[in-house]
Structure 1
Amino acid sequence: MSTASARPVFLLGCPRSGTTLLQLMLHAHPRIALPPENRFVLPAYERRLRFGDLGRRANRAALGEWITGRAETRFHELGLDPDTVAASIADGPPTLGSALATTLRAYAEQHGKSRWGDKRPAYALHVPEILRLFPDAQFVHLVRDGRDCVASLLGMPWWHAGFHEAVATWAQVMDTTRRHARRLGPDSWHELRYEDLLTGPEPVLRELCAYLGEEYAPSMTQPHRLAEVAVPARKTWHRHTHGALDASRAGTWRQRLTPDQIRLCEAAFGDRLTRAGYQPSGAVRPDPAELLRYRKTAALRRAAHARRRLRDRRARLKEAGPVAALPATG
């Protein structure tokens, strides 16, 4: 049922929800390319005023150098020639979205793909920014049991925010994405569950392809074949993507979380778990002091998000021109 869609695909979710696995599945499709996580899409948007009027070629050249020439953007993990991409940005359309699309499209073309996309869990809290850059974007939201996400986050070498922050992260992502799903509708928002990918990948991936307007490709059920290419070696915490699908990865929170942690998770998540299809264990209420600590953490996250939205609205008033990607030419 392919309609040869050219809409960009953005994969998002709570950290440790399985987005890297689904990234590999989508990258295994013969028409779609999703690169390793970058650090230039959101940072470029947040710094957009510093790049000046992109109607000037010199400013586009500086933006291209910023994307391709700094280790912090992780451009080097895409395996692209920085001079070629920087030149394409400088010679390309005069918007920030176009410059970013040029980079991601170059990755797709390098892999012989005609459709590009991007994956980063953080996009779950930045959907408005992505839509400003790419108004025709299609979003894919991968959901995993919040207790498993928390347990997995606590085991990551890069997670230093603690248990309560991990709980608040899953709750905030679920609340935020629920609002976007209602607003965007089924043409631009699709949700699936990590556990279903593990236990019955083909029907889940067929539904995903139908949403994207693509033919289903059986190669998508063997993501481990691409792990060496699309997952940087430094990310040792993604070692499970190098093997076959393993349904035993679901529900490990029962062994990895303490009884006290399970109690707090289930009290904090409330009906978010059941709405997503997960059953509470029936644990008793947590210590009131721990629940209060969680609520303070969650309130601080919400306040930080609100401040970010306010800064964004102020920055929009100072933009030199449009930011949305323009149609590719040539």
Structure 2
Amino acid sequence: MFQGIARFLNKHNYSLNERLFNWPLDRIPLEKPIFLLGVHEAGLEVLAHIFQRHPDIAFCRGNKNFWDSSENEMQMHLPSMPPELSLLNTPDGPRELERYWSYATDENIKDYRHEPKDANPELSLRFQHCLKKVIRAYAINPEHCHLVDKSHLYTIKMGFVHELLRENDPYFILMIRNPYAICPHVARLYCMRKGKGESLGYEEAVKRCAQHWRNSCCLAMADQTAVAHFTMLRAEDLIANPEETVRDLCAYAGLSYEPSMLPAQGQTHSILNSIKKGVWPPPQANPNAPYLKELDQLARIIVKRECEDMAALFGYTPEGP
């Protein structure tokens, strides 16, 4: 009950807070926002919590004091977002599990993809206002803050987001994970969903997930020529070398490296804690191993057909990493 009350109050802090009158939006600096990109199940949740432990970070529902909140996607938690940047404001759009693994399929990509040419000053100003309201509501120090967000949808809109925030110098981090491991795993969940009004077989589910992975990666890689700051990493490398990887990411994004950002046993959780058991600290062993062990021949063939070229570019095979 107390957690529910805390989440309710924290949610409404976005619109009603003590800074409303002495911090007008034109006083709020919006500099070097950081966008964490990738598909669902790629390890972005761990990466987001790492960034959320930094004292100079704010996200759409908190700061370092609420680092363990998973309400860190503007696409799902800010109703005031323009529909081009939201999954809340697309009534016919994907929901629940589907929302994360169907907007980038071959069939749906045309309905969700936006390019730099689609940006306009009115949309840019509206987007900036949403981000500034986050900083005003949740930053420890609004004058010295980097906003961080992990809206998966922006993976296929990176150039568009950059154009909207060009004057704010945005940074983008793409995180990827072995498609032979995660696509069949998600497909099994996809098949078990209830109340969707559609019966989806395993073969079709794997195909859709593989298309989603491939298109997400391809479009992000293509858009890197349209943005000023882009880097990428593999989830497997973050797990294997967390300190080195986080140091590099902090240097890239212009943040100080804080040892407390790294996952460790015994770290204090907030009342908003929504981390799933086993996610923090992340597993030290290869997290893909259980999924690759279950990889069946049908899924292997489908993922290879849809993703082989992009997967090989990142060193991914059915055997690992």
TM value normalised by structure 1: 0.60
Distance of aligned partners of 1:103 and 1:157 in 2 relative to their CA distance in 1, 3 Å threshold: farther
Distance of aligned partners of 1:30 and 1:157 in 2 relative to their CA distance in 1, 3 Å threshold: farther
Does residue 106 (structure 1) correspond to residue 142 (structure 2)? The answer is no
CA distance in 1, matches of 2:181, 2:230: 23
Counterpart of 1:311 in structure 2 is: none
Aligned counterpart in structure 2 of residue 133 of structure 1, from 164, 170, 177? 164
RMSD of the TM alignment (CA)? 3.4
Distance of aligned partners of 1:257 and 1:27 in 2 relative to their CA distance in 1, 3 Å threshold: same
Amino acid across the alignment from 2:229 = S
Does the CA-based 8 Å contact 1:228-1:242 persist in structure 2? no
Aligned counterpart in structure 2 of residue 46 of structure 1, from 83, 101, 105? 83
CA distance in 2, matches of 1:252, 1:47: 37
CA distance in 1, matches of 2:80, 2:179: 27
Counterpart of 1:147 in structure 2 is: 180
Aligned counterpart in structure 2 of residue 164 of structure 1, from 197, 200, 207? 207
For 1:59-208, list aligned pairs within 5 A. Answer: 95-109=125-139, 114-135=145-166, 136-156=169-189, 162-184=205-227, 187-208=228-249
Q: Report which of the two has the higher share of helix.
A: 1
Does the CA-based 8 Å contact 1:24-1:226 persist in structure 2? no
Does the CA-based 8 Å contact 2:155-2:220 persist in structure 1? yes
Aligned counterpart in structure 1 of residue 307 of structure 2, from 260, 269, 272? 269
Does the CA-based 8 Å contact 2:206-2:303 persist in structure 1? no
Counterpart of 2:100 in structure 1 is: none
Counterpart of 1:14 in structure 2 is: 39
For 1:161-310, list aligned pairs within 5 A. Answer: 162-184=205-227, 187-222=228-263, 225=267, 232=274, 238-281=276-319
CA distance in 2, matches of 1:13, 1:26: 16
Does the CA-based 8 Å contact 2:58-2:138 persist in structure 1? yes
Distance of aligned partners of 1:230 and 1:144 in 2 relative to their CA distance in 1, 3 Å threshold: farther
Does the CA-based 8 Å contact 2:292-2:319 persist in structure 1? no
Task: Give the fraction of aligned pairs with identical amino acids, expressed as a percent.
Answer: 19
Counterpart of 1:304 in structure 2 is: none
Q: Which moved more, 1:194-203 or 1:131-140?
A: 131-140
TM-fit CA distance, 1:156: 4.1
Distance of aligned partners of 1:134 and 1:270 in 2 relative to their CA distance in 1, 3 Å threshold: same
Amino acid across the alignment from 1:276 = F
Counterpart of 1:325 in structure 2 is: none
TM-fit CA distance, 1:266: 1.6
Distance of aligned partners of 1:152 and 1:137 in 2 relative to their CA distance in 1, 3 Å threshold: farther
Does the CA-based 8 Å contact 1:139-1:188 persist in structure 2? yes
What is the CA deviation profile of residues 37-67 of structure 1, one whole-angstrom value per residue up to 9, with x for unaligned ones?
232569732279xxxxxxxxxxxxxxxxx9x
Counterpart of 2:3 in structure 1 is: none
TM value normalised by structure 2: 0.62
Counterpart of 2:73 in structure 1 is: 37
TM-fit CA distance, 1:232: 3.5
Distance of aligned partners of 1:138 and 1:147 in 2 relative to their CA distance in 1, 3 Å threshold: same
Gaps of 5+ in 1: 49-65, 67-71, 73-93, 283-330
Gaps of 5+ in 2: 1-29, 61-71, 90-94, 96-123, 194-199
What SS does structure 2 have at the residue aligned with 1:16? Answer: coil
Counterpart of 1:23 in structure 2 is: 48
